[in-house]
Structure 1
Amino acid sequence: MTENQPPADSDNPDAISEQAMTWFVRLRAESVAVDERRQFQIWHQADPAHREAYAEIVAFWEDADFHTTLDAATLSPPMLRCSTPSNSPRRRFGIASGAKPLLAAAASLVIAAIVYQPALSCWQADYCTAVGEIKTVQLSDGSHVTLNSGTALNVNMRNGLRHIQLARGEAFFEVQHDPQHPFQVDGRYSNTRVLGTRFVVREDADSDIVSVVSGVVEVSRNRQNPATLKANDSIAVDARHQSEVSHQSTGNATAWLKGSASFDNAPLKAVIAEIGRYRRGSLIIRNQALQDLKVSGRFDIRDTDKTLESLQQTLPIRIYRLTPWLVVIV
């Protein structure tokens, strides 16, 4: 399998759709090779479901509404329900015939967000999860790692090492105690070193956040001047520095382990960003004035549509589904 080739086939319709989108994006790249085109033809002919999924991506891309400008958008009723024929691309992708949805500027953003970040990370990782998937794996030393949605990590347990590279996302570690072999997790910016404990490492856009549930860990940047964290301590590490250690309950940091996301007076933009981690595609707050609306509560990350509906019922916002992969909040 080449580096840019989609993963192995699956009967799961979501997996097939993701493969189709991966091929669609890859075949439009300047660097696409003859062998990759041949591999696409093999995939395309292997199953009628593959051909149907790819045809839908092409129809979505070529739909005239997709190429209207964002400023010219005329939105259909909230939580869009259209009445066009079932065999129409507009029906299949939830685009109302009278709408002028925003889609030109968002085209590359939507497809890239669905395809490239999680898919490329998975192809290069020892363990990974798809968007919306949470799973636990046991390592050879008896430690357990629970990977959150869209997470990828590499493991090196050879020659006495216990080393994890968090390539993307968030993971909860339950480390088997072994004084002779410290357990180390490297994020984008952070280095966490432990003997035996339970903690979370999360990669955000601009920093790593380490939160300790029990035990003691050392966290540093570039392995210099480590800070010691105990139960309910957290620290953020970015490209330039590490924060002071904060002490508060790790309940919010570990809520995803029980299928929920918990917020305490958080801005709507942070809530939407978190919900977006558990669904394919993009959630966009078009009305900038809404971004700082405060949100508190616990929401189900296993059903993000239900969570969005709950937010619409409790906040002065309206939610529009333009496609299965693009939701706009105004």
Structure 2
Amino acid sequence: MEEDNFKWVFTGVYGPVVDDERPIFWEELCYVQGLWSFPWCLGGDLNSVRSSSERSTGGRSLEMDQFSDFINEYLLVDLPIEGATYTWSNGRDPITLSRLDKILISGDWEDKFPDVVQAMLERVTSDHVHLVLDCGGLCSQTFPFRFENMWLRSDDFQGKVSSWWEGVTSLEIDRLEEARRDMESLHSRRASCRAVFAEIASMEEISWQQKSRALWLKEGDRNTKFFHQLANAHRRSNHIGRIRVDGEELWREEEVHNGVASFYQKLYTESLVWRPKLDGLHFEAISELDKDRIENPFTEEEVLKALSSCNGDKALGPDGFTMRFLMES
């Protein structure tokens, strides 16, 4: 298929229901995948599950390991289904549910459509749900400011920060906003800095590592593509495409936003006016020495030790400035 001169391949499959035929099925798919080098999208009724959570009856089986080995070998992305856990029902009592239907995509297919979301359509007569890929499924929203640690690698960054903050008072909000805009503009300079591509690539890796939250990998491992895919997975995991409020399913973006806001407004709105009283209760008290220790001001060494132990990719508050910015600026 061709979309904006982007060529990719779709393979529709129906997996075997007999256990002995499944290894042959995975082997045949491996052969089919080797026929081209284009991005790959694979979907259909595979008649297999990857884990016990994809089957209402639970339990482990060899087919799960074979299925997972196939996905891992070809670095396929198993997209979660928005609004559903299972895709098939036996329609009998006792009811059995499984996720037999899947759409799998390759990493380069995801690179082309990073906002892809897998959703389901209503089941009418079939015992399977219908799956659909929405390539613009993630909401296009305005994200709050987040400091990018790669900006610390920019020339004379600390000098710029010093000039921005020199003489700043609590009333000079405009100066702070100007500093933010200047830092954000550093991001757009990557495309024009071809002469220092290696440095830019390193900065990009730091950025995607921060977004991916992969704390167990170190900078310099050259895993930018992995960080990118992991960040996309986090976006899909955090994405709320539809919710059920008072028995009604909401899926339009504005309805979902209003439904979430209404839920938390009710959750944090107090209706009770009664308060328990503590009169007459005896509580153990700390000694005067411990009281003085608690009230002692923190030393500079204690503050520095606490800051150094924090993760450099995380921000302390909604202003978006990370711990690495505070430590190095």
Larger Rg: 2
Higher strand residue share:
1
Query: What TM bracket, shorter-length normalisation?
Result: under 0.3
